[in-house]
Amino acid sequence: MSFIEVETWRIDEGKEEAHHDMIRSWFRFVKEHHAEMFQEWKSTRYYRQTTKHGKPTGRYIMLFEFYTREGHRAYKERRKDWAGPYADYKKVDPYELFNKASTTEDYWQPQEENLWFTFD
């Protein structure tokens, strides 16, 4: 059963272009180092929030899907002090470009998966 971490934020004013560049660098780094540093991650998705009419709200969303809740905890514990290879990871972490007051973190644990639908 997957475990989902959802982070949302707004970009610090004047740092939009640097943010977008850093997000691209972050994705490249994670893809390159997935097997050794992020093996608990099942998927990662990035979104810009809009109104139902497509107008941007200024908020961005990152969805991290972990294989398990335990895997999420193991990853966070391993990365907590940014030691070893995570020192390089911190260099591409876009968090410094976020408006800190706007940042949220939520967790979703799937329920009743036997009732879910997947349409391919």
pLDDT per residue as tens digits for the range 84-115: 999 999 999 999 999 999 999 999 999 998 89
pTM: 0.89
Q: Which residues, 6+ apart, have CB-to-CB distance to 37 below 8 Å?
A: 30, 85, 86, 89
Domains of the chain in sequence order: 3-111 (3.30.70.100)
| DSSP per-residue string spanning 21-50 | HHHHHHHHHHHHHHHHH-TTEEEEEEEEEE
Structural Rg of the chain based on CA atoms: 16
Distance between first and last Cα of the chain: 20
